[in-house]
Amino acid sequence: MSDNHLTRIKDDLKNVSSENELMNVKSKYLGKKGEITLLTNSLKDLFIEDRKKQGAKINNTKKKMELLLENKLDKIRSELIDAKLSEEKIDVTLPPRGSSFGSMHPISQVLGEVVAIFTDFGFEVTEGPEIETDYYNFESLNIPKDHPARDMQDTFYLEGDKLLRTHTSPMQVRIMEKNKPPIKIISPGKVYRCDSDVTHTPMFHQVEGLFVDEIVTFGNLKGILIEFCSRFFGKDIKIRFRPSYFPFTEPSAELDIEWTDKSGDKTWMEVLGCGMVNPKVFEFVGYQHNQFSGLAFGIGIERLAMIKFGITDIRYFYQNDLKFLSQF
């Protein structure tokens, strides 16, 4: 009887390929109404001797069945894992995805080029704070409170008399306060203004230049800036100096460069302010009257980059659009 059961369960298990099917076979023999369970239940009708004998036989069969079921379960599970692994085969012949390289931001590139040209001219590089005091940003540059020139450089004010510097010119005063001429420095960095349109962003970059000695002339100023432009843009670029006004230089000028705007028309783009250091600024830093003369300039880096790369909207530089940035 029990041997017969074992043969049958073995046959049944041959056709089993999933855990569910296995559970069905299990309950067919060992479940509540399974064949072996029913046999066990019927033992109570036998005499004690037969009950013992039959009981041991059934138990033996039951154990063998459980072992068969367990082995089959192991087999099903390991086959499942094998199947999954073989699906996940790694194709070593696939071409690699390739890595993408970043590149320097166009503004950093231009800043680096400008600094390289002026260090070649013998200027030393020095950097200053972006959070300035009213004194260095305005007062000591001959822009007193309520002076109309403050209107052009509206900025972000912080607590006390602190503000985000509107230009790199405060570095002129900071350097002259601590050093006696000859002084020949440039000072690159970020500056801030309440401004935003196609040619203005609230944060932009400038490079300040200052050259002070016993005799420095407007001719020196023009010579340095013309040479700078032809090195930066190439010899063919068209330049003009236009008289202008800055409280900290006298006389003052702006340098414009010819460029083609959005609609394709040729116009002039202002790229820097410059002039001869105003004697009032020398007074602020404690230099004696008429002892020194100096030239100064402040270059807008974004403007240079726009002209060099033919970009018509300054805001592209700060939108972090990879399609734009990866062209440089």
Out of 275, 284, 292, 307, name the contact with ligand DAH by CB under 6 A: 275
Is 296 an interacting residue with respect to ligand DAH (CB under 6 A)?
yes
Cα-Cα-Cα-Cα torsion 183, 185, 191, 196, nearest 10 degrees, comes to 110
Is 249 an interacting residue with respect to ligand DAH (CB under 6 A)?
yes
* Residue 159: strand, helix, or coil: coil
b/e sequence 202-239, b meaning 16+ C-beta within 10 Å:
eebbbbbbbbbeeebeeebbbebbeebbebbbeeeeeb
The span from the CA of 55 to the CA of 266, in Å, is: 109
Chain mean position to CA 142: 39
Instruction: Report the nearest approach of ligand DAH to the CB of residue 96 (Å).
Output: 49
Give the side-chain half-sphere CA count within 13 A for 277. Answer: 32
Out of 169, 187, 199, 293, name the contact with ligand DAH by CB under 6 A: 169
Is 167 an interacting residue with respect to ligand DAH (CB under 6 A)?
yes
Is 187 an interacting residue with respect to ligand DAH (CB under 6 A)?
no
The answer to whether 35 touches 29, Cβ cutoff 8 Å, is: yes
Q: DSSP states of 167-182 as a string?
A: SSTHHHHHHHHH-PSP
Is 204 an interacting residue with respect to ligand DAH (CB under 6 A)?
no
Is 293 an interacting residue with respect to ligand DAH (CB under 6 A)?
no
Instruction: Report the nearest approach of ligand DAH to the CB of residue 263 (Å).
Output: 26
By CB under 6 A, which span of 230-238, 257-265, 280-288, 295-303 interacts with ligand DAH?
295-303
The answer to whether 257 touches 145, Cβ cutoff 8 Å, is: no
Is 247 an interacting residue with respect to ligand DAH (CB under 6 A)?
no
Is 142 an interacting residue with respect to ligand DAH (CB under 6 A)?
no
Instruction: Report the nearest approach of ligand DAH to the CB of residue 286 (Å).
Output: 19
Is 208 an interacting residue with respect to ligand DAH (CB under 6 A)?
yes
Out of 39, 175, 274, 307, name the contact with ligand DAH by CB under 6 A: 274
The span from the CA of 175 to the CA of 169, in Å, is: 10
The span from the CA of 264 to the CA of 185, in Å, is: 37
Give whichever of 23 and 285 is closer to ligand DAH, judged by the CB atom.
Answer: 285
By CB under 6 A, which span of 14-22, 95-103, 121-129, 267-275 interacts with ligand DAH?
267-275
The contact set with ligand DAH (CB under 6 A) reads 167, 169, 208, 246, 249, 252, 273-275, 296-298
